[in-house]
């Protein structure tokens, strides 16, 4: 019997590219918007490991139970944890699981059970290690594993895969919040733990026109730290995120443009937060601005009333009326029904009109 891989095991990662690779060497999968998760089963022991090697089992007891109920006693899976809420996957509900209180985790697991979507098999049902096998062989073994063991499991699903660029491009075109792009994997390569040379990802990027409702100074020096972005809803300007990463010369020039516009209140709805344990008082104090400047930014996700990550500045929009910069721009709906994909029906719902433009990045 082969020696089973043990955690921590660095997962294979993907290089971010702007176009989908095409050719016979590639397999395509939806890029799920969740937590990467490696699953290790060795007898009664079940371990869930995050992308950065941290244990996840205590936050997802229902997934541990689903893995423990499978008949094979020794295997290793690679996949993604998501939380279905209605017809979509909710990243906000997924984030709430990372909580210190076991009672809260138990309640959330009962209200909205998590789902493990598996897309690679690193050790099969009899413990045979597949790390050195090419993806083509690992995928065949994973599909056999799924047919034999996952048919009655409500908490574990097989991720679809295709070698058709046409299908992959349809997934990409229809991507939204539950599916935010496409992963391309080399069929002829082994599992490249910790490397990015066997996988590529194309993510959907979107743009929005936002009002600058305030700014922060840099934590050191007098330069600009970040622009604070706002969108209108019901006549109120809500803080939705930030834009940073400007060069030194740009930060100085931007301050000269912004400081004459300092005027309270800036945001009239949800306002930026205050200092935290990880930042200095100077870096988190913010200055309100008269809401007259509009910028176009690029973002990847809007969830929980905010851009999930920092945005990228694209251009100034002097031609845009600030009052027309509304939340409707970022109300994205996935045109893929993710649960239908997991039932083996890779089809998109009829497109709905989107206010924000989207780009592959």
Q: Respond yes or no: is residue 201 known to be catalytic.
A: no
What HEC string does the chain produce? CCCCCCCCCCCCCCEECCCCCCCCCEEEEEEECCEEEEEEEECCEEEEEECCCCECHHHCHHHHHHHHCCCCCEEEEEEEEECEECCEECHHHHHHCCCCCHHHHHHHHHHCCCEEEEEEEEECCECCECCCCCHHHHHHHHHHHHHHHCCCCCCEEECCCECCHHHHHHHHHCCCCCEEEEEEEECCCCCCCCCCCCEEEEEEEEEEEEEEEEEEECCCCCCEEEEEEEEEECCEEEEEEEECCCCHHHHHHHHHHHHHHECCCCCCCCCCCCCCCCCCHHHHCCEEECCCCEEEEEECCEECCEECCCEEEEEECCCCCHHHCEHHHHCCCCCECHHHHHCCCCCECCCCCCCCCEEEC
Q: Which residue has the tokens 């205590």?
A: 58
- N residues, the chain: 361
Question: Out of 31, 185, 201, 203, which one is annotated catalytic?
Answer: 31
Active site residues: 31
């Amino acid at each position: 019997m082969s020696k089973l891989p043990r955690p921590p095991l660095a997962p294979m990662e993907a290089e971010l590219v702007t176009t989908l690779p095409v050719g016979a060497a590639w397999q395509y999968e939806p890029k799920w918007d969740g937590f990467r998760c490696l699953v290790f089963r060795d007898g009664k022991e079940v371990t869930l490991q995050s992308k950065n090697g941290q244990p996840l089992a205590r936050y997802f007891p229902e997934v541990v139970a689903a893995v423990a109920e499978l008949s094979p006693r020794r295997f290793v899976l690679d996949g993604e944890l998501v939380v279905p809420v209605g017809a979509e996957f909710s990243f906000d509900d997924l984030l709430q699981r990372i909580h210190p209180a076991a009672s809260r985790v138990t309640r959330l697991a009962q209200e909205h059970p998590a789902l493990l979507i598996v897309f690679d098999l690193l050790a099969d049902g009899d413990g045979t290690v597949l790390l050195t096998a090419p993806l083509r062989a690992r995928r065949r073994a994973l599909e056999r594993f799924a047919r034999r063991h996952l048919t009655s499991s409500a908490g574990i699903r097989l991720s679809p895969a295709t070698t058709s660029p046409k299908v992959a491009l349809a997934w990409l075109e229809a991507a939204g919040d539950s599916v935010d792009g496409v992963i391309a994997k080399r069929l002829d390569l082994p599992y490249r733990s910790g490397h990015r040379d066997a996988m590529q990802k194309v993510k959907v990027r979107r743009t929005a026109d936002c009002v600058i409702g305030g700014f922060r100074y840099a934590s050191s020096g007098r330069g600009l730290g970040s622009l604070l972005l706002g969108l209108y809803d019901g006549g109120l300007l809500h803080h939705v995120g930030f834009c940073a990463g400007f060069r030194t010369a740009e930060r100085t020039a931007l301050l000269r443009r912004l400081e004459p516009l300092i005027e309270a209140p800036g945001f009239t709805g949800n306002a930026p937060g205050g200092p935290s344990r990880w930042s200095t008082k100077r870096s988190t104090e913010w200055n309100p601005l008269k809401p007259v400047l509009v910028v176009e930014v690029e973002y990847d996700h809007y969830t929980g009333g905010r851009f999930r990550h920092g945005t990228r500045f694209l251009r100034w929009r002097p031609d845009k009326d600030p009052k027309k910069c509304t939340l409707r721009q970022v109300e994205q709906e996935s045109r893929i029904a993710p649960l239908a994909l997991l039932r083996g029906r890779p089809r998109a719902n009829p497109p709905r009109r989107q206010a924000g433009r989207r780009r592959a990045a």
